[in-house]
């Protein structure tokens, strides 16, 4: 079949050329339209439920909202994780489903379960499904700056001018607005006036609702026309609202302004945003799941550019996070590495082939295969990202291997000056190497198959790597037997045959060294085995981690303050720290901090929690050698603010950690149990042990205790006497503290809520418990009494936050790790905690974080790789018909791994999943070179040569193709090994392993494999 394909290609040369021109044109189009992102979609199918219940404590929300919903949701099939975070007035419930679960099906199931449990929830509970986004959907953030606008005016612009427009951008799930004040029309009832006019609050609320409305009556004929009849009394402004008639006393209309004070107010705030030491407002773009990040960001930026002219004079939209910047930088890093790799490979080919036209023929395969790979990626929905492009860079050196062998053999045939037509010589040369080339390529494809068996985060990260490599290798194989022979038949001639003089000198030197090695075979074997054993020892002491941390360019510092802190006090601390950071670190261009909960509830932080986003200047302007040194200095400066838990992370890193464990930090230690105080005590004990471990930084135990509450308990006798129920008292007090919405004013698309209450800057006018005690309460009977006369007020404590997983409470200790490997840190921490912390009955500890992915990936690979090796042995046996020769080729594998281990040890890199991918790549390259050498040995059996001559001549004649395949793969990865910038950290361990392994495996192939073959043949022949 292969012979027919080669024959057809050489007979129909113009057709083949035209077909490849058409395919490359499609490939160019695919590249230009390929979605670009920083990472493949690593998020699971996830559905989030956000429920709010204003005024309810964390324990009340848990008991009345979280637990009923969790109980109902636990029955949904295909779910893997159910976790929740419950805080004052809000609960966030997250469900992760098995990989491959349809997101629409999952949301439908959750929505149906929510509907069935709705009747069990308190009347004040509101919310539902969060937007259909992922943990990594936060891709664009900006603040609105204008010194002439108040915070309320800025937020009003975001809410009603910017947000509606941005939500029209394709791929935008929602626009989250944070900070500032939401405008309300606020009515503060005057109790004495209410009594004088004979109104109760309930009567006033009902009267206002009836007065502030438009009514539909019907239609009436007016000649040939039809007119719509309606009643109209809805207010459209604060002035019209004040003039609304809400009653009639003694024949005189009573307007709303007669019963109290109307003013512009604002909603109670549960969060705020500061920038460079001043409060501001922020918008955060949340993208839909599976959207094209780059396209969404470009659409948002176009809309903002168009909106700029409509904003008040002096308004600036300050963009401080743009995911596309990271994408461009990271993809640019790999694109540069890819370009450099292509150029280096072309130079290497020119050196070894010693012929410009032959080098061009082989080099032609690179752009063709790359474009065909892009076409395959486009057809199968793989985006251009760090991992898929990284796979292409890895494949650059290998994808020329098949063509190198074909062209090198073609040159040999043409140089032999045989009296045959050129097309026939090209055909014969290509057909001769078909079997080993196909076998070698199939082996390379097979060795990458284990990556497709990975699950979880590691599977989503490295499946695109393997898939891209498989696409590239298949394309290279097809090209090697179709396009390359055709182009060679046009460009190469008998004059191009032969070996350049400098390569002949290299072959001569190799023959001498090989003769020496063959004469000292035992010594060579002992040295090689000793180095192999030593590499095994080094492997056992080399640290292990999941993946190197990618430098995203910016820093996020997370603060956790006292649980009882108020929002103004929390924001004031943030401002002080921001001013200090800007004054002390010129490396920081700006600081934007978000405190408390966002408006949508996607990230329900408490008032004591802050995410500080630091946008950094270009690194070449820093006083520090690297980002770790800058972080260490910032961490030291923050020690001047005692009582604050501090954690360092990055935007994507933070969301990935939250996705894996529900918390931030590289390692999360969860303590499961029932009693919150016991959980808090155990967590603090565990944190103290973790802090003593080498490499632990930013170790924090979540502050779950410390919520302070004022409990108001009505006096039964007084309440009964004056007809004041607990529900009526709660509603009255809520009006004074947070306000009660009783209607809204609609003007165009702007909706302004009408609130009963008296709030100042989103905060209650009641500033202390004493003021609350002496507050006057209007009783249903019309009398005014102090609150202390009708109720007892006591101060109590309870949990500030309750976290649950699979319907069980837990406390968590988080930590980052610096200066040592992650897996080793966890292992030592587990021993230390196990020996130092005793657990009561019913309590358990679980360790979570990235190290779980490393362990799972290692176990998966160890399970699958033996099967892959068995398949490779079967392929080799099919080629050679001998298990001994198959074993001889496979013996190259451990020596290839040996070089990778030495390379990791010398460079100080850890064993990680990228490094494991490098070892897998070595498996294919090492076997490929062995196949080339042994198959040539076997072909020489037909010649009347002694065994020693056959081994020496065969090795020398295969020197050039073996060196070409090894050096193209090795030098093709050099740009990755020395690259810097976002994305380079992930691929660097892989490149280091492959380069080190190629050095050792090439030496073993050139020297130890001939010794082994010589030994096997001598024993077989007696």
Q: What is the mean pLDDT of residues 177-185?
A: 89
Cβ distance 127 to 601 under 8 Å? yes
Q: Looking at residue 954, what is its pLDDT?
A: 82
- The percent of residues above 90 in pLDDT, for the chain, comes to 20
pTM for this one? 0.80
Q: What is the mean pLDDT of residues 117-143?
A: 86
CATH number for domain 1-21+354-498, candidates 3.40.50.300, 3.40.367.20, 1.20.1640.10, 1.10.3720.10: 1.20.1640.10
Our measurement of the distance from residue 970's CA atom to the centroid of its chain's CA atoms, rounded to an integer in Å, reads 30
Q: Looking at residue 186, what is its pLDDT?
A: 87
Q: Looking at residue 371, what is its pLDDT?
A: 92
- The percent of residues above 70 in pLDDT, for the chain, comes to 97
Q: Cα separation of 423 and 625, whole Å?
A: 60
Query: Does residue 919 carry a pLDDT above 70?
Result: yes
Reported as type and span, the H/E element at residue 387 is helix 386-399
Of residues 196 and 575, more confidently modeled:
575
The CATH code that applies to domain 186-210+228-266 is 3.30.2090.10
Q: Looking at residue 548, what is its pLDDT?
A: 79
190: burial class by Cβ within 10 Å (0-12, 13-18, 19+)?
Answer: middle
Q: Which residue in 810, 845, 842 sits closest to 829, CA to CA?
A: 845
The CATH code that applies to domain 554-649 is 3.30.70.1430
Phi-psi region of 973 (alpha: psi -120 to 50; beta: other; left: phi over 0): alpha
Our measurement of the distance from residue 880's CA atom to the centroid of its chain's CA atoms, rounded to an integer in Å, reads 46
Query: Does residue 211 carry a pLDDT above 80?
Result: no
682: burial class by Cβ within 10 Å (0-12, 13-18, 19+)?
Answer: buried
Residue with tokens 């004929």: 221
Q: What is the mean pLDDT of residues 355-374?
A: 86
Mean of the per-residue pLDDT values of the chain: 85
Query: Does residue 543 carry a pLDDT above 60?
Result: yes
Q: Cα separation of 126 and 91, whole Å?
A: 11
Q: Looking at residue 763, what is its pLDDT?
A: 65
Paired sense of beta strands 791-799 and 609-616, if any: unpaired
SS3 194: helix
Helix runs in 839-912, H state only: 850-880, 883-890, 892-907
Q: Cα separation of 97 and 113, whole Å?
A: 15
Q: Cα separation of 14 and 34, whole Å?
A: 30
Query: Does residue 498 carry a pLDDT above 70?
Result: no
Cβ distance 714 to 791 under 8 Å? yes
Q: Looking at residue 572, what is its pLDDT?
A: 93
Query: Does residue 707 carry a pLDDT above 70?
Result: no
In this structure, of 47-56, 154-163, 493-502, 607-616, the range with the lowest mean pLDDT score is 493-502
583: burial class by Cβ within 10 Å (0-12, 13-18, 19+)?
Answer: exposed
Query: Does residue 317 carry a pLDDT above 90?
Result: yes
Which strand ranges, in their side-by-side order, compose the sheet holding 260-266?
260-266, 183-189, 750-756, 740-747
For the ranges 347-351, 678-682, 938-942, the one whose mean pLDDT is highest: 678-682
Query: Does residue 1022 carry a pLDDT above 60?
Result: no
Q: Cα separation of 446 and 466, whole Å?
A: 10
Cβ distance 769 to 683 under 8 Å? no
Q: Cα separation of 581 and 575, whole Å?
A: 10
In this structure, of 13-17, 54-58, 945-949, the range with the lowest mean pLDDT score is 945-949
How many residues can be counted in the chain? 1022
For the ranges 36-40, 663-667, 704-708, 830-834, the one whose mean pLDDT is highest: 830-834
Residue with tokens 């204003």: 54
* Tokens representing residue 482 in the block: 């179709």
Q: Which residue in 791, 827, 602, 786 sits closest to 694, CA to CA?
A: 827
Q: Cα separation of 821 and 827, whole Å?
A: 10
Ranges in the chain annotated CATH 3.30.70.1430: 44-133, 554-649
Q: What is the mean pLDDT of residues 952-981?
A: 81
* Tokens representing residue 654 in the block: 């933070």
Q: What is the pLDDT of residues 600-643, one digit of tens each?
A: 566 778 888 899 999 999 888 999 988 889 999 999 999 989 88
Q: Cα separation of 311 and 309, whole Å?
A: 6
Give the pLDDT band (50/70/90) at residue 161.
very high
Query: Thinking of the domain 44-133, which architecture would CATH place it in?
Result: 2-Layer Sandwich (3.30)
Q: Cα separation of 893 and 668, whole Å?
A: 37
Q: What is the mean pLDDT of residues 348-363?
A: 80
Q: What is the mean pLDDT of residues 207-214?
A: 78
Please report the beta strands in 473-587, taking only residues with DSSP state E, as ranges in sequence order. 555-560
- What is the SS3 string spanning 766-811? CCCHHHHHCCEEECCCCCEEEHHHHEEEEEEEEECEEEEECCEEEE
Our measurement of the distance from residue 331's CA atom to the centroid of its chain's CA atoms, rounded to an integer in Å, reads 15
Q: What is the mean pLDDT of residues 439-458?
A: 82
The CATH code that applies to domain 499-541+882-1021 is 1.20.1640.10
Of residues 367 and 705, more confidently modeled:
367
- What is the SS3 string spanning 286-353? EECCCCCHHHHHHHHHHHHHHHHCCCCCCCEEEEEEEHHHHHHHHHHHHHHHHHHHHHHHHHHHHHHH
Cβ distance 806 to 65 under 8 Å? no
* Tokens representing residue 508 in the block: 């001569």
Ranges in the chain annotated CATH 1.20.1640.10: 1-21+354-498, 499-541+882-1021
For the ranges 574-583, 756-765, 981-990, the one whose mean pLDDT is highest: 574-583
Residue with tokens 């004070």: 261
Residue with tokens 């060679």: 488
């Amino acid at each position: 079949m292969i012979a027919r394909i080669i024959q057809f290609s050489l007979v129909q040369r113009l057709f083949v050329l035209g077909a490849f021109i058409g395919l490359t044109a499609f490939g160019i189009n695919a590249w230009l339209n390929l979605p670009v992102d920083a990472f493949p979609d690593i998020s699971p199918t996830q559905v989030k439920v956000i429920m709010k219940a204003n005024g309810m404590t964390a324990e009340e929300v848990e008991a009345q909202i979280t637990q009923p919903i969790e109980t109902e949701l636990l029955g949904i099939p295909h779910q893997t994780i159910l976790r929740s975070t419950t805080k004052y007035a809000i609960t966030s419930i997250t469900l992760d489903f098995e990989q491959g679960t349809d997101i629409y099906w999952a949301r439908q199931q959750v929505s149906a379960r929510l509907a069935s449990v709705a009747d069990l929830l308190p009347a004040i509970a509101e919310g539902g499904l969060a937007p259909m986004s992922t943990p990594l959907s936060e891709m664009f953030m900006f603040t609105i700056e204008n010194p002439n606008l108040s915070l309320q005016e800025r937020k009003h612009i975001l809410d009603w001018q910017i947000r509606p427009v941005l939500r029209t951008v394709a791929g935008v799930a929602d626009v989250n607005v944070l900070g500032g004040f939401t405008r309300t029309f606020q009515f503060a009832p005057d109790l004495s006036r209410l009594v004088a006019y004979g109104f109760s609050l309930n009567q006033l609320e009902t009267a206002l609702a009836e007065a502030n409305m438009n009514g539909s009556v019907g239609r009436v004929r007016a000649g040939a026309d039809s007119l719509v009849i309606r009643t109209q009394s809805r207010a459209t402004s604060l002035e019209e609202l004040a003039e609304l008639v809400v009653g009639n006393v003694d024949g005189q209309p009573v307007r709303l302004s007669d019963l109290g004070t109307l003013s512009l107010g604002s909603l109670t705030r549960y969060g705020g945003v500061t920038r460079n030491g001043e409060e501001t407002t922020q918008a955060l773009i949340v993208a839909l799941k599976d959207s094209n990040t780059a396209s969404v960001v470009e659409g948002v930026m176009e809309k903002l550019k168009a909106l700029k002219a409509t904003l008040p004079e002096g308004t600036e939209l300050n963009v401080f996070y743009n995911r596309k910047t990271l994408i461009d930088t990271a993809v640019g890093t790999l694109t540069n590495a890819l370009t450099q790799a292509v150029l280096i490979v072309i130079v290497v080919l020119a050196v070894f082939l010693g012929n410009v036209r032959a080098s061009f023929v082989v080099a032609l395969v690179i752009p063709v295969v790359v474009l065909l790979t892009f076409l395959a990626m486009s057809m199968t929905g793989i985006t251009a990202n760090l991992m898929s492009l990284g796979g292409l860079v890895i494949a650059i050196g290998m994808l020329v291997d098949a063509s190198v062998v074909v062209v090198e053999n073609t040159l040999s045939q043409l140089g032999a000056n045989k009296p045959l037509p050129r097309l026939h010589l090209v055909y014969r040369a290509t057909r001769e190497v078909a079997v080993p080339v196909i076998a070698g390529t199939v082996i390379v494809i097979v060795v990458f198959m284990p990556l497709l068996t990975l699950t979880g985060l590691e599977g989503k990260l490295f499946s695109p790597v393997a898939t891209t490599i498989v696409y590239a290798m298949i394309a290279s194989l097809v090209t090697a037997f179709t396009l390359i022979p055709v182009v060679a038949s046009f460009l190469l001639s008998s004059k191009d045959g032969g070996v350049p003089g400098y390569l002949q000198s290299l072959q001569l030197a190799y023959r001498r060294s090989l003769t020496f090695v063959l004469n000292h075979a035992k010594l060579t074997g002992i040295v090689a085995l000793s180095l192999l054993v030593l590499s095994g020892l080094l492997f056992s002491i080399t640290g292990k981690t999941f993946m190197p941390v990618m430098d995203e360019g910016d820093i996020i510092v997370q603060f956790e303050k006292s649980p009882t802190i108020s929002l103004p006090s929390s924001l004031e601390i943030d401002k002080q720290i921001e001013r200090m950071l800007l004054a002390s670190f010129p490396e920081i261009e700006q600081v934007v901090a978000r405190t408390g909960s966002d408006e949508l509830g996607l990230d329900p932080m408490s008032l004591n929690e802050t995410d500080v986003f630091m946008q950094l200047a270009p690194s070449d302007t820093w006083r520090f050698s690297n980002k770790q040194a800058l972080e260490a200095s910032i961490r030291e400066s923050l020690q001047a603010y005692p009582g604050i838990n501090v954690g360092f992370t990055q935007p994507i890193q933070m969301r990935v950690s939250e996705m894996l464990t529900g918390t931030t930090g590289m390692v999360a230690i969860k303590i499961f149990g029932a009693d919150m105080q016991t959980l808090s005590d155990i967590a603090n004990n565990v944190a103290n042990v973790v802090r003593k471990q080498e490499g632990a930084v930013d170790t924090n135990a979540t502050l779950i205790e410390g919520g302070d509450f004022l409990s108001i308990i009505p006096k039964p006798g007084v309440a009964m006497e004056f007809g004041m129920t607990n529900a009526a008292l709660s509603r009255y007090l809520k009006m004074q503290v947070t306000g009660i919405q009783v209607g809204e004013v609609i003007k165009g698309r702007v909706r302004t809520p009408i609130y009963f209450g008296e709030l100042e800057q989103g905060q209650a006018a009641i500033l202390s418990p004493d003021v609350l005690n002496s507050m006057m309460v209007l009783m249903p009977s019309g009398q005014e009494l102090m609150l202390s006369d009708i109720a007892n007020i006591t101060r109590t404590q309870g949990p500030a936050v309750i976290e649950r997983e699979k319907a069980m409470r837990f406390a968590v200790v988080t930590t980052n790790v610096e200066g040592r490997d992650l897996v080793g840190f966890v292992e030592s921490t587990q021993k230390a905690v196990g020996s130092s912390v005793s657990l009561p009955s019913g309590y358990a500890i679980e360790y979570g974080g990235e190290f779980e992915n490393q362990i799972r990936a290692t176990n998966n690979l160890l399970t699958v790789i033996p099967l892959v090796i068995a398949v490779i042995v079967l392929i080799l046996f099919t080629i050679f018909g001998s298990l001994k020769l198959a074993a001889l080729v496979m013996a190259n594998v451990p020596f290839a791994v040996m070089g990778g281990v030495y390379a990791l040890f010398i460079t100080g890199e850890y064993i990680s999943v990228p490094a494991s991918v490098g070892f897998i790549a070595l498996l294919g390259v090492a076997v490929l070179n062995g196949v080339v050498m042994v198959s040539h040995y076997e072909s020489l059996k037909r010649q009347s040569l002694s065994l020693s001559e056959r081994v020496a001549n065969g090795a020398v004649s295969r020197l050039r193709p073996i060196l070409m395949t090894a050096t193209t793969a090795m030098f093709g990865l050099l740009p990755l090994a020395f690259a810097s910038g976002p994305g380079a950290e992930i691929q660097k361990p892989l490149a280091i392993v492959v380069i080190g392994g190629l050095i050792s495996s090439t030496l073993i192939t050139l020297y130890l494999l001939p010794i082994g073959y010589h030994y096997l043949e001598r024993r077989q022949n007696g």
